Amino acid sequence: MSENMFRWEADADGIVTLTMDDPDASANTMNQRFGEDLAATLDRLEREKDSVAGVVLTSAKKTFFAGGNLDDLVKYTKADAQKVFDQSQQIKGLLRRLETLGRPVVSAINGAALGGGLEIALATHHRIALDAKGSKIGLPEVTLGLLPGGGGVVRVVRLLGLADGLMNVLLQGQQRAPKAALEAGLVHEVVDSPDELISRAKQWVKDNPEAAQPWDVKGYKIPGGTPSTPKFAANLPAFPANLRKQLKNAPMPAPYLIMDAAVEGSQVDIDNAGKIESRYFAELACGQVSTNMTRAFFFDLQAINKGASRPEGYEKHTARKVVVLGAGMMGAGIAYSCAMAGLEVVLKDVALANAEKGKDYSKKILDKAVSRGKSTQEKADEVLARITPTEKAEDAAGADLVIEAVFESPDLKKQVFAEILPHLAPDAVLGSNTSTLPITGLAEGVDRPEDFIGLHFFSPVDKMPLLEIIRGERTSDATLAKAVDIALQIKKTPIVVSDSRGFFTSRVIGTFINEAVAMLGEGAAPSSIEQAGSQAGYPAPPLQLMDELTLTLPQHIREETRKGVEAAGGTWVAHPSEAIIDRMVELGRKGRSSGAGFYEYDESGKRTRLWPGLSEEFGAATGDLPFEDMQERMLFAEALETVKCFDEGVLHTIADANIGSIMGIGFPAWTGGVAQYIDGYPGGLPGFVERARILAKAYGDRFQPPASLVEKAEKGQSLRGE
């Protein structure tokens, strides 16, 4: 075997510094070598205990330790349960030996300690973190549908108590900077320099020769109590209920099982608590949801942020000056995001007052950040100074990027581009933030269509991470490469799709809403429709979302689409939702902005209740649709439309489909995205096809699986092509 990844250096005082340095990887992870080398290192520590005064554990990598090995974790199925359980137990056994060595052990956390990294540190007696830039400390397993299976649940509960441990660390997987981790009680000290890190660690060893974990000291009690403590027990029944309320009963098992492991484990000794944790860990690691979420939020997202859909062979592009056309809600948000990334921003509107109002949007966000201590006044002023509101086209002089965000009218867009073009740098990227209008058509309005590209932002731009980049027929590879670079420059997550009406995101989300609306006419109770959406995992219930979007918007888009289909000689197949939406608009119930929609609103615009008239108008709440069907119709409608987007060449990668659907249009996170939903469906892609056929029989041909999908199912393939 090659050298041990725990480099052993003993100093004159007998303090052994163990420096983790996996020779085969850029970061230390909980791989096979880790287990073997830690065991060997513990053997030696125990053997040479008499000459060891204490241990300082640190890392030679930029990070302290990166956590579990996701390449392995993502592949586990139910058949691997024993293996996963055993591995989890093995790691716990080793970490238990470390914390019961009988010598002080200090973690010198030189960089990020996430997941397994923090779990190792929690098994040491003292944790000192270096305040390194970008260093994060926490247990983010829950965000990948997992739980900390290396003793993280057990030790956080014993360190912080059940309530604080669950709320502040385990259930949301917060990643904290070292100082915030200190405040949260996860580390004991924060230091400013690497030298100080080691010297403080060694000093602590010298000062605390008898160090032991709090839970190994006689008389220890879990802070805040356990189920056998009446005061704690009184509130305990509400723990799972509040979690359910918060997660809306979406099928995300990780938070629940974390709570289960924490509470059950609090009632037994640490080793049995560990066993309970390992059981729950194995269940999650071998389950479908962790596979879905790890694929999406780790692998797919990583691929996208590395520019997977960016054409190769073009130099990295950095935008310097952007003109944002139109200072409405979208334009204002785009201006903010660009200014935050350091771009010089010209925010142009027809009237200066509008443009200034758009700039105020940034000021409001920045003021809030300053008042909350998340930014300084100086930084906020700098960002604001980069935004120039104007009504004059000539202020765009020399800009290398345009992002047009005016009203969705092809003529208006053509006009504003014509006005600005003469003032731009000759090779400026011409971006349009349209959400539905075909880019190829808009590009006809400019004299260099190869530089024209769709940059579809999502509202509110400062919060939504996605950027849907739409390549028109004549958009060049060079422009596309620049657009991807610009997206990453302004800290957005870019997906790349080809031109089509509604592109990918707008087109697919429409099917979700239509399906929900159609159910009203089939006798579903309106609140059942909302619950079906929420319990399927959608962030907003569909009728509520529809009211927010305004009913005339999909009506308008549908009419445009219908015209397009008919102009191309096709026949328009009406969706059962159309009559309902038309009638609602006719009744003046156009959504929240009109003061009435599927919901009722009070004078202040607050949603009060579902409109009782839905029953009389459309027969809602007179029938009885199977709840599971209601949920799956929404999910399937979007998944099937996505397959069509692949078939029609609109979508090109699974990662774009998954990330675009989750980050852009609220497709449920537990699915791992709209493409992964198909592959992860019970029975895999063939199971999905079978279920689609059943839905088609019951609810209409729109659920018939496309031929491409049937073909893959017959060949036993997945959508991902594995």
Partner 1 sequence: MTEAYIYDALRTPRGRGKATGSLHATKPVSLVVGLIDELRKRNPELDQDKIEDVVLGCVSPVGDQGGDIAKTAAIAAGLPDHVGGVQLNRFCASGLEAVNQAGQRVRSGFEDLIVAGGVESMSRVPMASDGGAWAMDPETNFTTSFVPQGIGADLIATLEGFSREDVDAYALESQTRAAKSWADGAFDRSIVPVVDRNGLVVLDHDEHVRETTMEGLSGLKPSFAGIGEMGGFDAVALQKYHWVESINHVHHPGNSSGIVDGAALVLLGTEEAGKQNGLTPRARIVATAVSGADPTIMLTGPTPACEKVLAKAGMTVDDIDLLEINEAFAAVPMKLMRDLGFPHERTNVAGGAIALGHPLGATGAMLVGTMVDELERRDLRRAIVTLCIGGGMGVATIIERV
* Residues contributing to the site for partner 1 (CB under 8 A): 227-228, 230, 233, 236-246, 248-249, 256-257, 259-260, 263-264, 525-528, 531-532, 535, 609-610, 621, 627
Residue 577 burial (10 A CB sphere; 0-12, 13-18, 19+): buried
C-beta of 55 vs 621, nearer to partner 1: 621
Alpha-carbon distance 92 to 120, whole Å? 9
The three-class DSSP label of residue 11 is: coil
Helical axes 505-521 vs 627-647, angle rounded to 10°: 150
Closest CA to 17 of 8, 26, 25: 8
C-beta of 6 vs 232, nearer to partner 1: 232
Phi then psi for residue 544, to 5 deg, are -65, -45
Structure tokens at 432: 């349009």
Closest CA to 129 of 183, 67, 68, 192: 192
Shortest gap between Cβ of 91 and partner 1 (angstroms)? 23
Query: What's the angle, vertex CA 556, arms to CA 554 and CA 557, rounded to 5?
Result: 65
Alpha-carbon distance 291 to 442, whole Å? 40
Q: What is the DSSP letter of 251?
A: S
C-beta of 88 vs 535, nearer to partner 1: 535
C-beta of 123 vs 621, nearer to partner 1: 621
C-beta of 233 vs 694, nearer to partner 1: 233
Q: Which residue has the tokens 């520590």?
A: 45
Alpha-carbon distance 115 to 186, whole Å? 13
Shortest gap between Cβ of 622 and partner 1 (angstroms)? 11
Shortest gap between Cβ of 259 and partner 1 (angstroms)? 5
C-beta of 15 vs 536, nearer to partner 1: 536
652 assigned to active site: no
C-beta of 55 vs 259, nearer to partner 1: 259
Q: Is the dihedral of CA 176, 178, 183, 187 positive or negative?
A: positive
Alpha-carbon distance 58 to 113, whole Å? 11
Shortest gap between Cβ of 237 and partner 1 (angstroms)? 4
Cis peptide bond prior to 541, omega within 30° of 0: no
Shortest gap between Cβ of 112 and partner 1 (angstroms)? 30
The three-class DSSP label of residue 550 is: coil
Shortest gap between Cβ of 291 and partner 1 (angstroms)? 22
Q: Rg of the chain over CA atoms, in angstroms?
A: 28
Spatial contact of 446 and 421, defined as CB atoms under 8 Å apart? yes
Spatial contact of 71 and 224, defined as CB atoms under 8 Å apart? no
Where are any strands of DSSP class E within 61-135? 67-68, 105-109, 113-114, 126-130
C-beta of 173 vs 533, nearer to partner 1: 533
Structure tokens at 320: 């310097």
Annotated catalytic residue: which of 456, 556, 575, 652? 456
From residue 477, alpha-carbon distances to 112, 303, 317, 654 in Å are 37, 19, 13, 20
Alpha-carbon distance 701 to 215, whole Å? 62
C-beta of 162 vs 399, nearer to partner 1: 162
C-beta of 203 vs 531, nearer to partner 1: 531
Shortest gap between Cβ of 720 and partner 1 (angstroms)? 32
Question: Which stretches of 266-386 are DSSP H helices?
Answer: 270-285, 288-294, 301-305, 329-340, 352-371, 377-385
Structure tokens at 524: 């579903």
Structure tokens at 554: 């999909």
Spatial contact of 439 and 454, defined as CB atoms under 8 Å apart? yes
Q: What is the DSSP letter of 596?
A: B
Alpha-carbon distance 129 to 189, whole Å? 6
Shortest gap between Cβ of 188 and partner 1 (angstroms)? 30
Alpha-carbon distance 123 to 42, whole Å? 13
Shortest gap between Cβ of 458 and partner 1 (angstroms)? 28
Shortest gap between Cβ of 158 and partner 1 (angstroms)? 18
The three-class DSSP label of residue 50 is: helix
Alpha-carbon distance 637 to 498, whole Å? 21
Shortest gap between Cβ of 78 and partner 1 (angstroms)? 19
C-beta of 214 vs 612, nearer to partner 1: 612
Structure tokens at 87: 């591995």
The three-class DSSP label of residue 556 is: helix
C-beta of 172 vs 249, nearer to partner 1: 249
Q: What is the DSSP letter of 672?
A: T
Spatial contact of 292 and 670, defined as CB atoms under 8 Å apart? yes
From residue 190, alpha-carbon distances to 129, 155, 168, 207, 212 in Å are 5, 20, 19, 18, 21
From residue 708, alpha-carbon distances to 643, 645, 715 in Å are 8, 11, 11
Shortest gap between Cβ of 235 and partner 1 (angstroms)? 8
Residues labelled as active-site residues: 456
